[in-house]
Amino acid sequence: MTGLNDQWSQRDLRVLWHPCTQMKDHEALPMIPIKKGQGVWLEDFEGNRYIDAISSWWVNLFGHCNPHINAALQQQMETLEHVILAGFSHQAAIELAEQLVAITPDGLDRCFYADNGSSAVEVALKMSFHAWRNLGKPEKTRFIALQNSYHGETLGALAVGDVALYKETYAPLLMDVITVPGPDCYNREPGETWAEYSRRRFQHMDETLQKHAHEVSAVIVEPLVQCAGNMRMYDPIYLSMLREACNRYDVHLIADEVAVGFGRTGTLFACEQAHISPDFICLSKGLTGGYLPLSTVLTTSAIYDAFYDRYESLKGFLHSHSYTGNALGCRAALATLEIFSQQAVIENNRKLSECMAEATRHFSDHPNVADVRQTGMILAIEMVKDKHSKEAFPWQERRGLRVYQHALTQGVLLRPLGNVVYFMPPYVINQEQIQKMVDVAWQGIELATA
């Protein structure tokens, strides 16, 4: 007799092709079919429970099956599920746009909807290029991106990313992007602060802008944390310097806050910590509290105005996705923002961040840990072969996978990026659950590095 988990797995593996997965791995690695979720917990078909320490790919903010979001969705479902957003509109799309304009950094006055993080990045890239073209600068066709960045998997988004594992295979298909050494602080000198290092690294950006600004449309960055690039972190000073330089060189700044938006870094948006407003901000993931695929790009009136003309001028932004501004997605987002306005989420997260810091204090003493870094509700631990030289374990050894496997046996969903174990939990996690998540990670690291 096979168990229920096995039965579902077998059916799954006959017909599904999973994201970001070498399917052959599942010959040895069990698939975990999930029956239900509640708060930070996921439960499989045999009643095993797992703490979702990575918020299901960084989307979930206030727990699975959140009663407030559920109720809002039920009501929306009875009223309007979806309507074409060209020529038509609806209450949830309008109210959400109003609120996003109000809460995002100053000057972001227009909200264009799409339906996932990658498509938001595509929108921002196209809008930036097209705005310059409409303004009589069609030669601004290139983009500057940071080393180790990640912006999604569609071809434009992949092109401005720099994670070899995802990008290299498709290189022949991708536009040519200018990639600049980044500000991530992992390789700073002993005794050097994050601010000193990030400031020093800005020199590369400044030189690149000086050389290429005439042909560059925008610089795209992930503010403060390069999430898919192994949770590498940097100081807000880099963003302040970048904003100033983009103004000086007449280049747009695109802030991809798909992963870091909605409180992950300790402020509602990461750009706030540098006191800057980008020309475009891309939002998705936490936007709907982790419920539904929705994304948005907010931009300035100046950009909007560059497109506003008679139809025959062909300056309009004729970009669309079928599910643009989906009513259920917008309603889930409104319910999520209600939770932010009704509860002291950011303040409470500060306590949770401190609790994560406290619980992982001893990790930096581990002989195979080179770095424990944290920005708000994101905490990452870099496992290495040699602590002093920071020599990495060969990627083929898949040490992180061992941590993943161990954690599952202990009821925690961790999903290390290579050799980097990290936590990015839903904000409804409590102290006891943090302790469990951290203890299990420690055991996993012990096993994986033994």
Q: Which residues contact ligand PMP by CB under 6 A?
A: 116-118, 121, 150-152, 222, 227-228, 256, 258-259, 284
Looking at the Cβ atoms of 336 and 433, the one nearer to ligand PMP is 336
Looking at the Cβ atoms of 116 and 449, the one nearer to ligand PMP is 116
Total length of the chain: 450
Tell me the closest approach of the beta carbon of residue 74 to ligand PMP, in angstroms: 25
Tell me the closest approach of the beta carbon of residue 321 to ligand PMP, in angstroms: 12
The CA distance from 339 to 333, in Å, is: 10
Looking at the Cβ atoms of 168 and 347, the one nearer to ligand PMP is 168
Looking at the Cβ atoms of 121 and 384, the one nearer to ligand PMP is 121
Tell me the closest approach of the beta carbon of residue 19 to ligand PMP, in angstroms: 9
Q: In the chain, how long is the greatest CA-to-CA distance? A: 70
Tell me the closest approach of the beta carbon of residue 262 to ligand PMP, in angstroms: 13
Looking at the Cβ atoms of 223 and 359, the one nearer to ligand PMP is 223
First to last CA, the chain: 36
Helix (H) or strand (E) holding 120: helix 117-134
DSSP for residue 437: H
The CA distance from 171 to 153, in Å, is: 12
Tell me the closest approach of the beta carbon of residue 18 to ligand PMP, in angstroms: 14
Tell me the closest approach of the beta carbon of residue 16 to ligand PMP, in angstroms: 18
Tell me the closest approach of the beta carbon of residue 158 to ligand PMP, in angstroms: 10
Tell me the closest approach of the beta carbon of residue 336 to ligand PMP, in angstroms: 16
Tell me the closest approach of the beta carbon of residue 309 to ligand PMP, in angstroms: 31
Looking at the Cβ atoms of 5 and 284, the one nearer to ligand PMP is 284
Looking at the Cβ atoms of 387 and 415, the one nearer to ligand PMP is 415
Looking at the Cβ atoms of 184 and 222, the one nearer to ligand PMP is 222
The CA distance from 434 to 53, in Å, is: 9
Q: What is the edge-to-edge ordering of all strands in the sheet holding 378-383?
A: 369-375, 378-383, 420-423
Tell me the closest approach of the beta carbon of residue 228 to ligand PMP, in angstroms: 5
Looking at the Cβ atoms of 150 and 197, the one nearer to ligand PMP is 150
- Helix, strand and coil percent figures for the chain, each rounded to 5: 45, 15, 40
Q: Which residue is nearest to ligand PMP (CB)?
A: 117
Q: What are phi and psi of 404, to 5 degrees?
A: -55, -50
Q: Which of 77, 66, 100 is nearest to 284 (CA)?
A: 100
Q: What are phi and psi of 196, to 5 degrees?
A: -60, -45
Looking at the Cβ atoms of 236 and 445, the one nearer to ligand PMP is 236
DSSP per position, 363-409 = GGGSTTEEEEEEETTEEEEEE-SBTTTTBPPPGGG-HHHHHHHHHHH
Q: Which of 436, 290, 432, 446 is nearest to 381 (CA)?
A: 446
